[in-house]
Structure 1
Amino acid sequence: MSAETDTAAGQQAASPDQAAMPIDVISDVVCPWCYIGKRRLEKALASLPDIPVALRWQPYQLDATIPPQGKDRQHYLMDKFGSQARIDALHEQIAAAGLQEGIPFAFERIRTSPNTLDCHRLLLWSRADGLQSEMAERLFRLYFLEGADLSDPQTLVSAAADVGMMSDLVAELLPTDSDRNKITAAVEQAHRIGVTGVPAFIIDERFIVMGAEKPETLAAAIKHAYETKAG
């Protein structure tokens, strides 16, 4: 596991007679607000040390039409937002919010806008090793801080090694169609339940919080879910 990742990522261990409450985090690794939302969720959980939770990272694609090899980032943003002035304003707003959460966004380093389907496959595979939060953190850092090309399979293989996964197995699986349908189905399910933007947090499969809300808001929702939990 990489030393730079969050060891527990806000997850509290449950005692044998105290089942962990699930929190599904619906996000995309190229969404800056999802990275900010991760930090805010971690702060919320740190304020609730007696509530055991299990984070489950669920996929969402902000743009599934991007080709597998990705698109030039500058051209992509110009097509999407129409002007450099608007792009700069958005980046400035996000950068300010990021600094409050300890995230020094480096948008100028990003050269490629990737299709994130393979990133979500990697996140899915990391669940078996209990490394989903570590993998999410690594992918966010690679993209937003290091400007790495997440459309490059070698970037994902290296990310797997960084967090302690079997990177040789990841290298074998990435060129195949393994779990592609699972990711697409999960994204479609998110749309069906009304998720139109990310991050979204589904707490105990009962309550949903949309957006990168403040830690206090997330903590209140988590506490309410725990206190009203059946059984």
Structure 2
Amino acid sequence: MPFRLIGNNILPNSCPNKYQKDEFLLKFIGKERFSTIEHNVTRWAEEKGIPISLRGIMTQSTRAHRLALKARKIGGQRLQTPLVSAIFKATNQDGKDISDFDVLAELAEESGVMGKADTIEFLKSDELEKEVNDLCNAARSKGITGVPITIIDEKWAVSGGQSSDVYIQIFKKLAAAGVHAAPSPFPSSLVHTCTGDGSDDSD
């Protein structure tokens, strides 16, 4: 499910100004919160051996989401997964502008989704824009305010990069509740959020 951290009202798709990530985030969330996020992201990246950077171009992600959805429609996860990985690397490691037609076209071609010309033609259209907007709005309506997040069985939402132990605890709870053998006791729209220690904070 696509999710936009920054709304179009704050950062439009065709914004004429290009912002540096750190400058934009400092203005948008403040120095204290930015420092905390930068510290946590840097520490996590070092632990995992992934060179994530909060530097580079800050742009709206709608076009990248549209392209990822297009890849899924063309070839399912077989095409979508390598494209999404390439997009993440481009923005989080290389600091590239993932709203730029040429950047996305190159990523699409390298990932085997579409050629550059076809990708640019697609991006210049409004194809799948409504679908992406609807999916982003649906995520917000479920109370999702950040990523990454994993939703399990429409009832549990695991925020952040969690260990396998957290997922094991959730699967055990779901199995004990017999949710697959009987109707769920919860409303279909209810999403329980699991905290980092595996506890349920939905009460």
Task: Indicate whether the TM-score tops 0.5.
Answer: yes
Cα deviation per residue 1:37-73 (whole Å; 9 max; x = unaligned)?
xxxxxxxxxxxxxxxxxxxxx1110112212245412
Give aligned-pair identity as a percent.
25
Q: Is the contact made by 1:207 and 1:225 (CA closer than 8 Å) also made in structure 2?
A: no
Q: Residue 113 of structure 1 corresponds to which residue in structure 2? A: 58
Q: Is the contact made by 1:203 and 1:225 (CA closer than 8 Å) also made in structure 2?
A: no
Q: Is the contact made by 1:69 and 1:152 (CA closer than 8 Å) also made in structure 2?
A: no
Q: 1:225 to 1:173 in 2, by over 3 A?
A: farther
Q: Is the contact made by 1:115 and 1:151 (CA closer than 8 Å) also made in structure 2?
A: yes
Q: Residue 135 of structure 1 corresponds to which residue in structure 2? A: 83
Q: Secondary structure in 2 aligned to 1:154?
A: helix
Q: Do residues 75 (structure 1) and 23 (structure 2) align?
A: yes
How far off is 1:195 after superposition? 1.3
Q: Do residues 158 (structure 1) and 106 (structure 2) align?
A: yes
Aligned amino acid, residue 230 of structure 1: H
How far off is 1:105 after superposition? 1.5
Aligned amino acid, residue 170 of structure 2: A
Q: 1:220 to 1:86 in 2, by over 3 A?
A: closer
How far off is 1:225 after superposition? 5.3
Q: Do residues 62 (structure 1) and 5 (structure 2) align?
A: yes
How far off is 1:222 after superposition? 5.0
Aligned with residue 146 of structure 1, among 94, 118, 122? 94
Q: Residue 122 of structure 1 corresponds to which residue in structure 2? A: 67
Q: Residue 230 of structure 1 corresponds to which residue in structure 2? A: 180
Aligned with residue 104 of structure 1, among 51, 60, 63? 51
Q: 1:229 to 1:181 in 2, by over 3 A?
A: same
Paired with 1:204 and 1:92, the residues of 2 have a C-alpha distance of 33
Q: Secondary structure in 1 aligned to 2:5?
A: coil
How far off is 1:229 after superposition? 6.6
Q: Secondary structure in 2 aligned to 1:59?
A: coil
Paired with 2:167 and 2:80, the residues of 1 have a C-alpha distance of 20
Q: Do residues 91 (structure 1) and 18 (structure 2) align?
A: no
Paired with 1:172 and 1:206, the residues of 2 have a C-alpha distance of 39
State the aligned residue count. 171
How far off is 1:89 after superposition? 4.6
Cα deviation per residue 1:107-136 (whole Å; 9 max; x = unaligned)?
34x1x2111110100110111313222222
Q: TM-score, normalised by structure 2?
A: 0.73
Paired with 1:170 and 1:229, the residues of 2 have a C-alpha distance of 42
Aligned with residue 175 of structure 1, among 124, 146, 149? 124
How far off is 1:193 after superposition? 1.6
Q: Secondary structure in 1 aligned to 2:150?
A: strand
Paired with 1:105 and 1:148, the residues of 2 have a C-alpha distance of 12
Q: Which one is further off, 145-154 or 162-171?
A: 162-171
How far off is 1:149 after superposition? 1.1
Q: 1:86 to 1:202 in 2, by over 3 A?
A: closer
Q: Secondary structure in 2 aligned to 1:76?
A: helix
Where structure 1 has 5 or more consecutive residues not aligned to the other structure, the ranges are 1-57
Q: Is the contact made by 2:5 and 2:145 (CA closer than 8 Å) also made in structure 1?
A: no
